[in-house]
Structure 1
Amino acid sequence: MSHRLKFTCALILVLVLWLLNISLGSISIPIGALLERIAGVPFPRESWEIIVVDYRIPKSITAILAGIALSVSGLQMQTFFRNPLAGPFVLGISSGAGLGVALLAMAGTAFGWQLFAGTTSYWSVILASSAGAIGVLVLMGLAAWKVKDSMTLLIVGLMFGSAASAIVTLLSFFSAAEELKMFTLWSMGNLGNTGWSELGLLSGAILIGVTMVIFSVKSYNAMLLGEAYAKSMGINFQKLRWIMIVSTGILTGGITAFCGPIAFIGIAVPHLARLLFKTNDHRVLFPATAILGILVLLACDTLSQLPGYASSLPINAVTTAFGAPLIIWLIMKRNFSEAF
């Protein structure tokens, strides 16, 4: 099967899953009614219009943006470190975002803050998460300026993440039960908190990160053969490294700020793309990874929507249930060694 046919089939599946994602939930809406609404025919019930337009479409668009951002970030990190288990969170950016939210949620009593109250609480979480992610990204940028070896930089990123997680653990230990519950719910991941007003900002961040990747993608194939080979091909390795770190920071930090940490998409989907498209050419892998990221996250979000139930499963639980078996299966088949 040619790449073009695979892309066509994947895009058709995206459309089908998108319709299913909007259709299923605590109140099921027939797909036929959705298709008629797209054609301009009003819904037979006014409540369906509110559910679809104000909640489910923004949620599905958020899933699409998150699928693109996390899967592309994961592919970048696996290429950059030439490590099959690298993902978008190895730079510690997600842990930094978590630290920002933990300080907001669990250090509030000590500082007398009135947190998570009124209409500003969601934006407070976004700002705190963004501040934490940007802080770690700046530290990683300084580390990249001093550290030339990629594997050493990987260790530095993991140490930043571990340090942030240690502070979060201490805050959790001393926090009140209600504050800890708020942070725990955030850490489970949620695609449904983003409305139309937040989507503009999130889309802008993802567009910036993806654009940086698009203009650099031709140089990524040389990265698989090492720094020395990339330099021999005339590639400015230091500049490329900065682009990969900053774009990953923007993509990962943006999604974590608006949706919380979402596990395994960034690690599993790039391997799924290599498996299905049977190539290491990043000009094919990047669009393939982005489309499969959309597919997987839409599928996971659809599975989390149990028809007839008022609440949905935590998205992190569903993505982990998908990602962990895939990674184990790939390890057993030893496909990792073929890709790197």
Structure 2
Amino acid sequence: MAMHMPVPRTAYYPTIVHKKLIKPAGGSGFIAAHVIDILLEHGHTVITSVRSEEKAAKIKEAHPNVPASKLDFRIVKDIAQEGAFDEAVKIDGLDAVIHTASPFHFNVTDTKKDLLDPAIIGTTGILKAIKKNAPSVKRVVITSSFASIVNASKGNSWTEHTYSEADWNPITEQEAVQNPSNGYRASKTFAEKAAWDFVEKEKPNFTLSTMCPPLVIGPIVHYLNSLDSLNTSNQRTANLMTGKNKDEIAETGTFLWVDVRDLALAHVKALEVEEAADKRFFITAGYFSNKEIAEIIRKNFPALEKELPGKDVKGGDYPKEGVYKYDNSRTVEVLGIKFRSLEESVVDLVKSLQAVGA
């Protein structure tokens, strides 16, 4: 999605690409749709990439009061193709880009083809396209992940360690293809490293900022989502409220989270705050567990009690030995983000899921 500001004239090009490996309207659209809303609220003109005219029409219909001069589209059918963005970034006055597109799901048959290539080629591809065809671009923001920070081999109970932007996932290429979970973490790690390597070696006219969120939850954008196309992060809440975890709550996995609206704001602030240039941001609101999500639903939606696991049902809690620590001070101090509570995020998510039939 690309955009320019009224004064000074400016443009951004974040991408909303719905990978064919994800059911329609899943994946990156969850974050990018909120990014669009905040960019428009902040007065930017948005030119966003979509995979089809149908997606463009849905976004346009959801913003009936926004003129075409403030919200436009470019079709990019497959970000894993070399040169996919070459034409899309040829926009007069374009001076900033947000790239949010990368698959997050574990339903894969070929880890390299389904996860690694789209993430790495998509990320390096847009940077190459910007350098080649959009020399006016000054700022680029890329969505990475806590997956590029965490050392999975240490497990959740690495209690003496504090994760921050200084950490990099040490996963190797050999480990990456062993299973989809490794493949996902590797795709984020390799893609982000490739972006920083590109900036260091190619010395383009633009600066780079990367966003590294853990689990992203919060309200879905109804015009782009359905219960059949939920992103992996929100699926756990849908499972709880629709009776799929009555007998046992699924293990939490990652114990850090952020609300999608706070993450979207962080993307936009990374373009607007000078000090954000050439920095990596670990964007988290803090700890959560699946059990906590269940109890928030129980408290705020009594009508769903019969679908929820009972209070004594096992699973989904914190490890007895504790979990790793985190440092989100750069996000707070540089971007000025004030994080929403887990309760607010879950309540708004449940309401949005009910709106599409949950």
What is the TM-score with the length of structure 1 in the denominator?
Answer: 0.31
**Greater strand content:** 2
**Greater helix content:** 1
* Structure having greater relative contact order (Cα 8 Å, sep ≥ 6): 1
| Larger Rg over CA atoms | 1
What is the TM-score with the length of structure 2 in the denominator?
Answer: 0.30
